[in-house]
Amino acid sequence: MDQSQILPETLHQSVRFEDGLTLDCGRHLASLTVAYRSYGTLDAAAGNAILVCHALTGDQYVAETHPLTGKPGWWNAVVGPGKAVDTDRYFVICANVLGGCMGSTGPRSPHDSRPHEPWGTEFPAVTIQDMVRAQKRLIDHLGIKRLFAVIGGSMGGMQALAWAALYPEAVFAAVPVAAAAYHSAQNIAFHEIGRQAIAADPFFYAGRYWAEGVTPERGLAVARMTAHITYVSEAALTRKFGRRLQTATDLTVLGDRFEVESYLEHQGSSFVRRFDANSYLTITRAMDLFDLAADHGGALPSAFVGSKTRFLLVSFSSDWLFPTAQSRAIARALNHVAANASFVEIMSDKGHDAFLLDEPDFHRTLSGFLAGCAEHAGLS
């Protein structure tokens, strides 16, 4: 692959904060850039804003053609005119997370001490809460005192929870979808396999691959392939591929390939064209560090004491990466402090990625919840 075609420089809508940001690790970023996209119109009272938080491999292009891939936005099924998150009614914002590679400050950004080169693996460790604090800077900059809702799936759901815990007065409603209050040991293990695959790539060069004019394509592709397996269910893979071969009717030649193998290879190869390996290392570690209860003395309910935020927790029956039990645990914690919380498990055989796919029950649930919240919030 022509290395010049991998992650070409792209101009992104962004805001730069010259005073930077102090991180949970104790380091201070000298400046902070938050790249974002918005859809719809902010009303006169700035009361109809919804922040959509993206997952690990997502970005700010939630409901429009992606500038690198040319593909539709990752949540086109949910965000748009007349959809569950109706841009005719709401002002929708989505920001590239801190540590990302689509315009926000991250490993590809100029180093604070050596502006002529990127941070690379020297980029400080960030947390989900750091990502939320960066988003809060953007929201304040836009003149929004209270978000009508914060919505996100997977890592985006972690951000929604962190928003509700850090800034309860600034969030009227929170919708964590297919998420959890902490990253499990199993999930951390899968992430570590991906990180090791990247580090073992001969083109990784200890994270300084840009200096060699290369990228650790194979390692990053394997990381993506491994992760993608966790996003789907066995039923979904069986329905889509079964044991079908790509070009043959039986295994007469050892090199014959199963369709599922080709599918995973495509997932990996397309991923390296839009994602930075060092960002992958940074963001997966942020997810691994997330433990909302640990941040509140080991008691999850303490994260939400006195919260007036309205919650909708959504899980999917076949999601084994963030199983329903983890959403139920959050619901119990919210009930423990008498928070306004609803919980629904959507029956689906599509696995964790169901929140990204065509799931009418989920879309109706989300639309109904937002409509009810809008009535209580006095939105016309």
The CATH number given to whatever domain includes residue 92 is: 3.40.50.1820
In a domain, 204, yes or no: yes
Residues 50 and 89 grouped into a single domain: yes
In a domain, 164, yes or no: yes
* Predicted pLDDT of residue 5: 45
In a domain, 140, yes or no: yes
Nearest to 201 by CA among 257, 268, 259, 254: 268
- Strands, E assignment, 133-239: 147-153, 171-177
Residues 206 and 158 grouped into a single domain: no
* Predicted pLDDT of residue 258: 82
pLDDT in tens, 80-94: 999 999 999 999 999
Distance, in Å, from the CA atom of 228 to the CA atom of 222, rounded to the nearest integer, reads 10
Concerning whether 154 is annotated as a catalytic residue, the answer is yes
Number of domains in the chain: 2
**What is the mean pLDDT for each group of 10 consecutive residues in the chain (380 residues)?**
51 94 98 98 97 97 94 96 97 98 97 95 98 98 98 98 98 98 97 97 96 94 92 85 71 67 82 94 98 96 97 97 98 97 97 96 98 92
Distance, in Å, from the CA atom of 342 to the CA atom of 313, rounded to the nearest integer, reads 6
In a domain, 319, yes or no: yes
Catalytic residue (one of 38, 109, 154, 307)? 154
Residue 248 lies in domain: 188-284
Catalytic residue (one of 12, 38, 352, 353)? 352
Residues 19 and 163 grouped into a single domain: yes
Q: CATH code at 261? A: 1.10.1740.110
Tokens representing 216 are 């650790």
Distance, in Å, from the CA atom of 222 to the CA atom of 269, rounded to the nearest integer, reads 9
Task: Single out the residue in 284, 303, 338 at which a domain terminates.
Answer: 284
* Predicted pLDDT of residue 32: 98
Catalytic residue (one of 233, 319, 327, 348)? 319
In a domain, 302, yes or no: yes
Concerning whether 12 is annotated as a catalytic residue, the answer is no
In a domain, 2, yes or no: no
Residues 27 and 144 grouped into a single domain: yes
Residues 51 and 175 grouped into a single domain: yes
In a domain, 228, yes or no: yes
Residues 93 and 17 grouped into a single domain: yes
* Predicted pLDDT of residue 4: 38
* Predicted pLDDT of residue 245: 81
Concerning whether 319 is annotated as a catalytic residue, the answer is yes
- Which amino acid makes up residue 280? Y
* Predicted pLDDT of residue 268: 79
Residues 44 and 136 grouped into a single domain: yes
Q: What is the DSSP letter of 97?
A: P
